[in-house]
A and B are shown apart, each in its own frame.
Chain A
Amino acid sequence: MTVLLRAKSLGLASCGICRQVVRLPLPSATQPKCPRCGGRVHSRLPHSLVRTWAFLIASMVLYIPANVYPVMKNTYLGAESSNTILSGVALFLKEGDWLLAFVIFTASIVVPLLKMVSLLYLLMSVRKPPVARRARQQTVLYRVTELVGRWSMVDVFVIGILTALVQMGAISTVEPGIGAMAFGAVVVLTMLAAISFDPRLIWDQEKQ
């Protein structure tokens, strides 16, 4: 099997928009533009690790209010109740809706946590030299993390739909809680963190 060279080691880079391979000018020269699509070409996303850390830490901080404060307030025939994400899942379980409990638990708790943990792991391991096979697994892990992130929005949409539908005056109403706002921010921030991370960094510390 032939040894694969990294584009960076040859002074080349792939355009992030159209994939054209471009020769990079020497350091400190002006930022090169892609001759095909006109986009800026980076060998690695600029400040990838710092940005990923920033978005990740922000999302972790907001994950606390997202779970502590109620995401939804419900009145039904005068009785008021408010639910956090976790107590909402517990309510589904109590009512025997196993499937719904599973969907919400996965989308609102498992997916965001897994995203944070896997990004944290990638950020910490990226400075160490990769054993080839582990780098491959980490690349897959990154791809999965980036792909599943959007599904965390399920809960936000559910709250929106219920708020729109359940406005029956004295019978029943639903109001969004402040936790929903924090949770929406967590979803957006974890997505931004994943997008900011450059998977090519996983392969960079390889011995030539």
Chain B
Amino acid sequence: MDEEVLMACQECDALQRVPWVPAGRKVRCRGCGTTLYHHPRGGLDRPIALLLGAMVLYVLANSFPLVTLDIGGASRETSLIGTAWALYNHDMKLLGILVFLTSLAVPGAILFSTLYVLVGLRLQRSLPGLRQMLALLSHIHPWEMADVFVISILVALVKMSGMAEVIIDAGLYALVGYILLGIAASASIDVFVLWRRLERIDHFSHGELSFEAGK
């Protein structure tokens, strides 16, 4: 596939024709050096596999407590939702909602909508809402903070370790695994490349040509 694409850099607006590079390579802006797009290896199958794993771990991370604290026989545990709920209940409603959104809801929304988009593209169907979800994904990412949350748990645990016994529960291991898989998955996804795939599916589904899988 040796076509060219017309792109304008999102950071400096430099207009340029760039080559459509093979998988594993990225294209940088000739003006400011920002990555214009990268063509990930592994096609759609790799991010789908990684995100399916992440999905299982996300469910587990939300089904079990993350940590348990034991002070002189009195023990308490917490989860992702428990943390948001605690703030909500201690007269910090907005803060509780913010924590709920950034540590739980947005990560989940990104996970499930990305999977939906990838599976739709893999099946070469414009599933309902696929376009809207792909559009949403280009804006929602900064609000995903599950990784920041894990660092916060570690900080809280070290802080408590002096005066209490700290037990790390299954949920935290699942949460760390979910984050690692999520990082690997987003390294194998480029939104621009996904839009081009979608465009081709729309094009071919109008019946002009048959389309081979995996291209």
A contacts, CB < 8 Å to B: 2, 4-8, 10, 12-14, 16-21, 36-39, 76, 92, 95, 97, 99-100, 103-104, 135-136, 139, 142-143, 146, 149-151, 153-169, 171-172, 175-176, 180-181, 184, 188, 191, 195, 199-200, 202-204
- Main SS class of interface, A: helix
Interface of chain B residues 1 through 31 with chain A (CB within 8 A)? 6-16, 30-31
Which residues of B have CB within 8 Å of A8?
Answer: 13
A103 adjacent to B15 (CB under 8 Å): no
- How far, in angstroms, from A95 to B159 measured CA to CA in the complex? 10
Q: Does B185 belong to the interface (CB within 8 Å)?
A: no
Which residues of B have CB within 8 Å of A76?
Answer: 163
Most B CB within 10 A of own CB, among A146, A163, A176: A163
A-B contact pairs, 11 of them (CB 8 A): A7-B8, A17-B138, A17-B139, A76-B163, A157-B99, A160-B86, A165-B160, A166-B76, A176-B92, A199-B11, A203-B14
A169 adjacent to B74 (CB under 8 Å): yes
**With known contacts A151-B148, A191-B142, A164–B85 Cβ distance under 8 A:** yes
- How far, in angstroms, from A165 to B155 measured CA to CA in the complex? 13
- How far, in angstroms, from A45 to B102 measured CA to CA in the complex? 25
- How far, in angstroms, from A6 to B177 measured CA to CA in the complex? 43
**With known contacts A7-B15, A100-B158, A167-B76, A160–B71 Cβ distance under 8 A:** no
Which residues of B have CB within 8 Å of A136?
Answer: 32-33
- How far, in angstroms, from A110 to B131 measured CA to CA in the complex? 39
Q: Does B37 belong to the interface (CB within 8 Å)?
A: yes
B7 adjacent to A14 (CB under 8 Å): yes
B103 adjacent to A157 (CB under 8 Å): yes
Which residues of B have CB within 8 Å of A188?
Answer: 98
B131 adjacent to A19 (CB under 8 Å): no
Interface of chain B residues 77 through 120 with chain A (CB within 8 A)? 77-78, 82-87, 90-92, 94-96, 98-99, 102-103
Which residues of A have CB within 8 Å of B91?
Answer: 176
**With known contacts A6-B13, A136-B33, A176-B92, A164–B155 Cβ distance under 8 A:** no
5 closest pairs, A vs B, by CB? A157-B152, A164-B86, A7-B8, A14-B8, A164-B78
B25 CB to nearest A CB, Å = 17
B155 adjacent to A4 (CB under 8 Å): no
Which residues of B have CB within 8 Å of A5?
Answer: 14-15
**With known contacts A4-B30, A171-B72, A139–B86 Cβ distance under 8 A:** no
Which residues of B have CB within 8 Å of A37?
Answer: 131, 134-135, 195
